[in-house]
């Protein structure tokens, strides 16, 4: 059975890279020449914000589309500009897909039963609109928070099966206080993140594709290398989405344990380090933000090559 992981691996092979570019547009960091255009047209409105974000994103997508297999828009950066921001989000997803990129929506959605189904409809599947099935945001994969247990995973996993999509469930996150819950020793044996890793691997066991990976992936932060090593052993059939490279402090050596011996098993995200690479650069002006993003991606590609096993 072919699944999302097979599609992802095929794109990793095609692009020769396991980089994911995070599309986290911060209005204050979008080059002035873009912002001014929309300010002039719409004034200081949500519509101007949405327009500037979308144009900026399109530029980044064009700059990196032949270098990386996937992009990861973080929906909070769009949601904060309301309906107009979410329009820019929807058009960004659609533009990236047309550019041949796999779209992983970082929304960390979580709920149970029919509510979780509604989220799965919105991001991965289709929704019934008076008897007509329609796609909404139509991403390829979605990040999910699993604090609610299996009830909170199952509706998403079912959508993955039905629509050949994927999810990445938060296991060990990259932030400093991730240990508040995740590092607690549970049942006298191991940590919560290890226990949850075991659980997730078993939940994904029925969803393994032709290349040996499940459509149910895990989020494992680049900033916790030792923990990633343990999780790699616990979860051999699970693809890790790895945030925390670059701006958050993780480097290539931190990421090495996230890969399996077959050279697969990890997708490494960089957001600010790529999309705003023009900032503080002597070589690139704001007008050259695309070239700066492309160079930063090539640098990251080189950096990761030193640790990708294959």
Q: Which residues are known catalytic residues?
A: 108
Contacts by 293-298, CB closer than 8 A, 24 or more apart? 293/21, 293/59, 293/60, 293/63, 293/64, 294/63, 294/64, 294/67, 296/270, 297/19, 297/21, 297/63, 297/64, 297/67, 297/68, 298/67
- What minimum distance in Å lies between the beta carbon of 136 and a copy of itself? 4
* Binding of residue 165 to a copy of itself (CB under 8 A): no
> Could you tell me if 240 and 267 are in contact, meaning their C-beta atoms sit under 8 angstroms apart?
yes
CB of 240 to a copy of itself, least distance (A): 17
* 40 near a copy of itself, judged by CB under 8 A: no
CB of 310 to a copy of itself, least distance (A): 32
Interacting positions 238-297 with a copy of itself (CB under 8 A): none
Question: Does position 48 bind a copy of itself by CB under 8 A?
Answer: yes
Q: CA 257, 261, 172, 142: dihedral to nearest 10 degrees?
A: 130
Which residue among 128, 280, 282, 306 contacts a copy of itself (CB under 8 A)?
128
* Cβ contact 220:240 at 8 Å: yes
Cβ atoms of residues 200 and 166 within 8 Å: no
Residues 61-120 that bind a copy of itself (CB under 8 A): 74, 76-77, 79-83, 86-87, 90, 108-116, 118-119
Q: How far apart are CA 252 and CA 263, in angstroms?
A: 14
Q: How far apart are CA 91 and CA 86, in angstroms?
A: 9
How far apart are CB 228 and a copy of itself at their closest, in Å? 17
Query: Please, which residues bridge with residue 70 across strands?
Result: 20, 102
The residues in 11-30 that bind a copy of itself, with binding defined as CB under 8 A, are 24, 26-28
Residue 202 as a binder of a copy of itself (CB under 8 A): the answer is no
Q: Which CB sits closer to a copy of itself, 197 or 209?
A: 197
Q: Which of residues 203-242 bind a copy of itself (CB under 8 A)?
A: none
Residue 51 binding a copy of itself, by CB under 8 A: no
Pairing relationship of beta strands 141-144 and 166-172 according to DSSP bridges: parallel
Residue 122, phi then psi, degrees to nearest 5: -60, -45
Cα 227 from Cα 183, distance rounded (Å): 9
Contact stretch for a copy of itself (CB under 8 A) within 43-51, 54-62, 273-281, 297-305: 43-51
Give residue 95's Cα distance to chain centre: 16
Near a copy of itself by CB under 8 A: residue from 99, 158, 198, 199:
199
Tell me the number of residues near a copy of itself by CB under 8 A. Answer: 71
Does the protein bind a copy of itself through residue 309 (CB under 8 A)?
Answer: no
Instruction: Kindly state the smallest distance separating residue 192's Cβ from a copy of itself, in Å.
Output: 7
Tell me, what DSSP letter sits at residue 1?
-
**Is residue 54 packed enough to be buried (19+ CB in 10 Å), middle (13-18) or exposed (0-12)?**
buried
Q: Which one of 5-13, 191-199, 276-284, 290-298 is the stretch in contact with a copy of itself (CB under 8 A)?
A: 191-199
Say whether residue 136 binds a copy of itself (CB under 8 A): yes
CA 169, 171, 175, 178 torsion: positive or negative? positive
Stretch that binds a copy of itself, among 57-65, 171-179, 231-239, 252-260 (CB under 8 A): 171-179
- Pull the structure tokens for residue 301: 């590609």
Q: Which is nearer to a copy of itself, 1 or 186 (CB)?
A: 186
Q: What's the min distance (Å) between Cβ of 49 and a copy of itself?
A: 5
Rank residues 78 and 213 by Cβ distance to a copy of itself and give the closer one. Answer: 78
């Amino acid at each position: 059975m072919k699944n999302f992981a097979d599609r992802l691996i095929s794109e990793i092979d095609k692009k020769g890279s396991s980089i994911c570019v995070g599309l986290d547009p911060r209005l204050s960091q979008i080059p002035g020449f873009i912002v001014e255009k929309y300010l002039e047209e719409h004034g200081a409105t949500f519509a101007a914000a949405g327009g500037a974000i979308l144009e900026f994103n399109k530029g980044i997508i064009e700059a990196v589309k032949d270098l990386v297999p996937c992009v990861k828009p973080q929906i909070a950066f769009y949601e904060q500009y309301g309906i107009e921001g979410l329009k820019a989000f929807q058009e960004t997803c659609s533009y990236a897909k047309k550019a041949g990129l796999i779209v992983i929506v970082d929304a960390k959605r979580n709920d149970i039963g029919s509510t979780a189904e509604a989220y799965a409809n919105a991001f991965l599947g289709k929704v019934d609109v008076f008897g007509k099935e329609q796609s909404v945001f139509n991403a390829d994969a979605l990040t999910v928070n699993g604090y609610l247990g299996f009830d909170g995973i199952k509706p998403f996993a079912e959508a993955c099966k039905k629509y050949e999509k994927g999810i990445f469930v938060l296991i060990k996150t990259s932030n400093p206080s991730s240990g508040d819950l995740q590092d607690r020793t549970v049942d006298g044996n191991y940590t919560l993140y290890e226990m949850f890793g075991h659980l997730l691997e078993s939940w994904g066991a029925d969803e393994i594709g032709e290349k040996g990976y499940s459509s149910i992936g895990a989020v494992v932060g680049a900033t916790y290398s030792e923990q990633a090593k343990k999780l790699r052993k616990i979860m051999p059939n699970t693809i890790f989405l790895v945030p925390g490279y670059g701006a958050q402090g993780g480097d290539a050596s931190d990421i090495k344990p996230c890969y399996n011996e077959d050279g697969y098993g990890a997708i490494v995200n960089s957001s600010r380090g790529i999309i705003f690479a023009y900032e503080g650069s002597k070589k690139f002006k704001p007008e050259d933000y695309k070239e700066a993003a492309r160079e930063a991606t090539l640098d990251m590609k080189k950096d990761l090559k030193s640790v990708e096993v294959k």
